[in-house]
Amino acid sequence: MIFWLTLFGGCAVTNEPNNISYYMGSNEISELNEKILSQAQMSSEPGDILIGEGDLLQISVFEAKELEKTVRVSSRGFVSLPLIGQVQVSGLTAIEAEEKIEEMYETRFIKDPHVSIFVEEQISQRITLVGQFKNPGTYDYVSNQRLLDVIALGGGLSEQAGQIVQVRRTHFVQGEPNTFIVDLDRLIKEGNVELNIRLNGGDVLFIPEAGVFFVDGAVKRPGAYPIKHKTVIQEGLVEAGGFDSYAKKDIIKLVRMTETGERKIIDLDLSETESKEMALKDRDILIVGERALGGLFRGFSISFLGTGFAYWGK
């Protein structure tokens, strides 16, 4: 399954080692990587390259060599071309931009023009891989790439990899979460293709080490933290810096994966010892509710697609 988790703040992962018992074996990692590589689309056509601000383009018109021009896309996404002036190309693939420019030249100047765009330098569309990839780093992004394609770009999972991947958007869309968390078990082992989400240029992918829990909502340092031997609920909240000033301490929820692979939401009452001393498990998510005033500035939402569970809070 996939759920949306909106985080406001950096992902605070400490450097302390995780409990080795959480790690998948090298054979299991190898099998997962084989499946990733077999399902990934590693090649792309030059025309699929997505154009963005700052990219350097060589634009040629076969019927008129004098119109050839090398131009950089402006901060507003335009290029300036002879005869037709300003053309919006940001957000288009190279082939879409070619077709747009052909149409503009054909309208007034050239009969049946043929335009070619070569991307000499691409700086706008990059994807960053952080954490437990075999080859973390920053990679060029072409259009229509999905999660497995990009994991394969990073060489697959390292032997210390956990079983989730966090995708964080740097270009926000109104009304949508800016961070997605995908369960790799459901995506790779069970072949749940709806989890192979389409990525955008600028996205950051983070795979934590095995044995982590997440804290979100009205805490001072939302993010991912390692489970150190036995970490209980109260300790997990302390790891995240404790409650923020606008926390609703009576609204604390734990999202946990069950043995059947489903997620369940557990309401916690910190006035009860049982809740405070409950041990955290790998991939648990703690959510602290927010008073309305705090929610105006932060807000968070979790939506479990395909499960019937949904939680929205302030």
Could you tell me if 141 and 201 are in contact, meaning their C-beta atoms sit under 8 angstroms apart?
A: yes
The tens digit of pLDDT for each residue in 128-154 reads: 999 999 999 998 776 678 899 999 989
Q: Where are the domains of the chain?
A: 2-38+126-313, 53-121
Contact 81, 57 (CB under 8 A): no
What's the pLDDT at 160? 83
Position 234 scores a pLDDT of 92
Task: Give the DSSP letter of residue 53.
Answer: T
Cα 187 → chain centroid: 15
pLDDT given at position 139: 87
In this prediction the pTM is 0.61
314 residues of the chain, pLDDT tens digit each: 444 444 433 344 433 444 444 556 677 788 888 888 887 775 555 556 778 888 899 999 999 999 999 999 998 999 999 999 999 998 888 899 999 999 999 998 999 999 999 988 877 778 899 999 999 999 877 667 889 999 998 999 888 888 888 888 877 666 666 778 888 878 887 788 888 888 888 889 998 887 888 888 889 988 888 887 778 999 999 999 999 888 888 889 998 877 776 778 899 998 898 988 999 988 888 989 887 654 433 444 444 433 334 444 44
What's the confidence (pLDDT) of residue 70?
95
Q: Cα separation of 218 and 24, whole Å?
A: 32
What does the pLDDT read at residue 58? 95
* CA–CA separation, 3 and 26 (whole Å): 28
CATH of 2-38+126-313, one of 3.10.560.10, 1.10.10.10, 3.30.450.40, 3.30.70.100: 3.10.560.10
Architecture of domain 53-121: 2-Layer Sandwich (3.30)
* pLDDT score, position 190: 79
